[in-house]
Amino acid sequence: MAQTKKIIITVFLALMASNTDLLWSKKSIEWFLPIKVDNRQSWEKVRLTSIGRFGIKRKARPSIPAHLHTGVDLKRPNDNYVNEPIFPVAKGKVISLRDDGPYAQIIIEHILEDSSLIWTVYEHVAGIKVRLGEFVNPYRPIARFMSRDELEKYGWQFDHVHFEIMKVKPKPLNTDRKRPYRYYGTYSLECYNRLDLKKRYYDPKKFFYLKWNQ
């Protein structure tokens, strides 16, 4: 449980990280990121898109059925459209990569202190800096937010990072020539009701409050 607590705070604020103003937690220096906020444990510092809350219903669209939102969509923290970094939540191992467009994705597996596992997902990323099988930590970016040029190409609806915390192992996928390192996928389009959602995902906001602010 102690290690679970250590990873929570960076879930939301790591994506708001800056390379300046180093502020380190006394509880666990190795787990925390340099961030540029007054209160590291404040959910109010997190900005979501208008349809970025966990569990809201997403309408059906061509080839995609209606489903519940399985993560949170975090807005870009600064007006930096060149190299705004994205950091991993905690130490972990990269088990799947996809870098073929606006749905570029990184999946990281984390081992908790009680030997249980969780998986974090970062989607709509660009400039991926990690390799399959690489061990990562919160000190070093794994990717960045999309640049202006990329958003002009793919659409400004991707001006955020979709973040998930999975309770169950991602589903295995067959790789292909276009996506040779995409070994796993999420259940983001397969949660049609609350039972599906609860079975597979943590609500990031509740996870933050219940696991950290005890």
pLDDT at 192: 95
211 or 187, higher pLDDT: 187
Mean pLDDT score, 187-213: 85
Does 37 have pLDDT greater than 80?
no
Residue bearing tokens 């609806």: 157
The CATH number of residue 139's host domain is 2.70.70.10
36 or 180, higher pLDDT: 180
**Identity (one letter) of the amino acid at 208?**
F
175-179 long-range contacts, CB within 8 A, separation 24+: 178/100, 179/98, 179/100
In the chain, % of residues over pLDDT 90: 62
pLDDT band of residue 151 (cuts 50, 70, 90) is very high
pTM of the model: 0.81
pLDDT at 18: 39
pLDDT at 43: 65
Q: What is the mean pLDDT of the chain?
A: 81
pLDDT at 129: 96
For residue 44, give its domain range: 2-211
43 or 200, higher pLDDT: 200
pLDDT at 33: 37
- Digit-coded pLDDT (tens) for 44-55: 677 899 999 999
Does 9 have pLDDT greater than 50?
no
95 or 12, higher pLDDT: 95
Does 214 have pLDDT greater than 80?
no
Domain count, the chain: 1
37 or 183, higher pLDDT: 183
33 or 203, higher pLDDT: 203
Sign of the Cα torsion 20, 97, 134, 71 reads positive
pLDDT at 34: 38
pLDDT at 197: 97
Provide, for the chain, the percentages of residues in helix, strand and coil under a 3-state DSSP scheme, each rounded to the nearest 5: 20, 25, 55
pLDDT band of residue 96 (cuts 50, 70, 90) is very high
> For residues 166 and 105, is the Cβ–Cβ distance under 8 A?
no
